[in-house]
Structure 1
Amino acid sequence: MKKLEESDSMLKLFKRRKEDSLRASILPDLIKPSLIENRISCIKVNNFLNRVIAAVGFPRFIREGWLDALISSEGDFDISLFIEPVSIEFV
């Protein structure tokens, strides 16, 4: 009787793995973009244009609201900031 229970549990285990492998094979097709187009000034992914702009060498002091003009402009965009303090000796 115990052997039968063990074999049933093994069958369930293998059946579950088969379903998982099916999901794993379908998942990339569901999340990958339908179009990736390299252009001179940007990359088009599906219907979205993507461009990276890097600004290096911010002034030592900035005024309040220094990003307001960019944030309040029209358009659909994401902003990512990476600010690393530099020692005064290098300024």
Structure 2
Amino acid sequence: MTITVSQDVFRLAEVFTISRGSRTEAKVLTVKVARGGVVGWGECVPYARYNETLESVTAQIAALPEDVSRAALYGLLDAGAA
């Protein structure tokens, strides 16, 4: 299995505001998982509120064993962006 993680920053067309603050950009991780000719894609947004950064979530994903199964992920990762 191959896991590839890329980091992107997207400028928002308008300021996004909620009670905790405003944003002008979205920092996103895109994950590509390939195994046996099948490819899957996913995205996540790390939340500073939970002490997550692009780098910390990338490190969590990079630390996964190469042969990890979907079922095993629940025991290997805490709740969060990864």
What TM-score range do you get, normalising by the shorter chain?
Answer: under 0.3
Bigger strand fraction: 2
Q: Which has the higher contact order (CA 8 A, sep 6+)?
A: 2
Larger radius of gyration: 1
TM-score (norm. length: structure 1): 0.20
